[in-house]
A = this chain, B = another copy of it.
Amino acid sequence: MFTKVLVAEDYEIANQGIIRILNDQIGIHNIQEAKYCDDAYLKFRKAYNDNDAFELLITDLSFKQDHKVQTRTSGIELIQDIRSIQPDIKVIVYSQENRPDKINMLFEKYHINGYVCKGQNAIKELISCVNGVYQNQKIVPPELSNNPDSGSMIHLDDLDMLLLEELSYGYTKKEIRLKLIEQNITPNGESSIDKRVSRLFDNFKAKNTTHLVAIVKDLGLL
């Protein structure tokens, strides 16, 4: 089993809970905790430089910022920074987020090794996740692996996302068209944009632009 673990979680009640589980139920005793991303990074650096590196990082995604000035405010930055130095460190993300799209993105883009969703079964899931990751498995939360419709997810390309974003800012299609032309993005015909947005209507079962943006906001894609 892992012998040395770093826990980055700003929410101190959870922080303590995680450490207790690692300690009592998994038998890991060499644990360091950090309530700030920057603090986590410093502890990581120190251990790495002392040739006593961490084997596993368990981190939250969002860190509230208080009075202290932080250079990192999200777990993603922390993961990137740490992986750039120690690429083989195992990473478990442990967060509130339960939207399939977002969790999948973490695995695909940042190659995390496991994800545990804060929730009713966090204790059990955390234990099996740590065990699985130790055996080099990729541990997806059960909500996701059981969910059949996560595979049928609609794939949105960059232009789709751009359109959704611009629409959510209240720009008209004419204005968006001009922006696309300025940035040399094709297609940029007004009716091409219409068509694309209409397809999004179908995908998300939206009645109109306002509805579409509301849906996408709810899904957390914007």
> Which A residues contact B (CB, under 8 angstroms)?
10-14, 16-18, 21, 35-36, 64, 66, 96, 98, 117-123, 167-172, 206-214, 217-218, 222
Contacts and interface: CB of A to CB of B under 8 A. Distances in A.
A11 B118 CA distance: 6
A211 B13 contact: no
A13 B122 contact: yes
Number of identical monomers bound together in the oligomeric complex: 2
B210 A167 contact: yes
Contacts of A123: 12-13
A161 to B, nearest CB: 14
B120 A11 contact: yes
Contact of A170 (B21, B66, B208): B208
Contacts of A17: 13-14, 16-17
Contact of A13 (B35, B66, B118, B206): B118
A96 B120 CA distance: 15
A36 B96 CA distance: 17
A212 to B, nearest CB: 8
A120 B10 contact: yes
Contacts of A64: 98, 117, 119-120
Nearest to A165: B214
Contacts of A21: 13
Given A210-B170, A210-B209, A12 B121 contact: yes
A16 to B, nearest CB: 6
Contacts of A117: 64
Contact of A213 (B121, B122, B210): B210
Contacts of A119: 10-12, 64, 66
12 contacts: A11-B120, A13-B21, A64-B117, A66-B121, A168-B214, A169-B207, A169-B211, A169-B214, A171-B207, A172-B208, A217-B217, A217-B218
B12 A120 contact: yes
